[in-house]
Chain A
Amino acid sequence: QVQLVESGGGVVQPGGSLRLSCAASGFTFRNYNMHWVRQSPGKGLEWVAFIRYDGSDKYYAESVKGRFTISRDNSKNTLFLQMNSLRAEETAVYYCAKDSRWHFDLWGRGTLVTVSS
């Protein structure tokens, strides 16, 4: 079954760190570029980061540049998002998404990150 399953969300204090994971199955993970997208409660979608299929290129939204790091382990079919110096306004559901022809063609169900003291 083709799917993406995020994990690693939870409650973290402002300024803290968290590492999200996204397990892929049902497709050849190493062949596809991947993204992280987030959605704050009651708000719209925000693109966060992109990584090329082989990890050779990584791009970030300006809002997270220098604090978030996207990575992948193709041997384990897993995508990661390391988030440092978290802010209250980054409370959101974080989705991983598979890239295909410049769009997001498969989404996970998301994992909730709450940044609060």
Chain B
Amino acid sequence: QTVVTQEPSFSVSPGGTVTLTCGLSSGSVSTTHYPSWYQQTPGQAPRTLIYTTNTRSSGVPDRFSGSILGNKAALTIAGAQADDESDYYCVLYMGSGTWVFGGGTKLTVL
């Protein structure tokens, strides 16, 4: 069974830059997985940040960017702010009408 991997936790200083990644237990992530990224704070529904690898959702600041880095999808947050402290999830389209979420990364800004 395919597993989508994310760092369980990450820490960044205010104003700093952080890159979160999204990989596969077997194989490489490519644009054909249409990677997308979501931000979620406790008790809230997820908020869409990035889709189709690097397209920002409406209203998302350009501090957030998506890319493919090596064999993984990546979410980069530049100029981190206190309210970026959240859980971040990636999801990959695996074909045949199925999607798989990563386990999520808990980002701390301190």
Contacts and interface: CB of A to CB of B under 8 A. Distances in A.
A113 B28 CA distance: 35
A47 B98 contact: yes
A61 B46 contact: no
Residue of A44, A57, A107 with most chain B CB atoms under a 10 A cut-off: A44
Contacts of B91: 45, 47, 103-104
Contacts, number: 63
Contact of B51 (A45, A50, A102, A108): A102
Residue of A35, A47, A103 with most chain B CB atoms under a 10 A cut-off: A103
Interface size class of A (residues with CB under 8 A): 20 to 34
B98 A108 contact: no
A104 B100 CA distance: 12
A103 B36 contact: yes
Nearest to B47: A107
Contacts of B57: 105
A2 B48 CA distance: 15
B11 to A, nearest CB: 19
Provide the main secondary structure of the chain A interface: strand
Contact of B48 (A44, A50, A103, A108): A103
A102 B46 contact: no
Interface size class of B (residues with CB under 8 A): 20 to 34
Residue of B36, B48, B99, B100 with most chain A CB atoms under a 10 A cut-off: B99
Interface in A53-106: 57-59, 61-62, 95, 100-105
Interface in B66-84: none
A57 B98 CA distance: 12
A44 B36 contact: no
Contacts of B96: 59
Contacts of B52: 101-103
B1 interface: yes
Contacts of B47: 107
11 contacts: A35-B99, A45-B38, A45-B40, A45-B46, A50-B97, A50-B99, A59-B98, A102-B93, A104-B91, A105-B51, A107-B47
Interface of A: 35, 37, 44-47, 50, 57-59, 61-62, 95, 100-105, 107-110
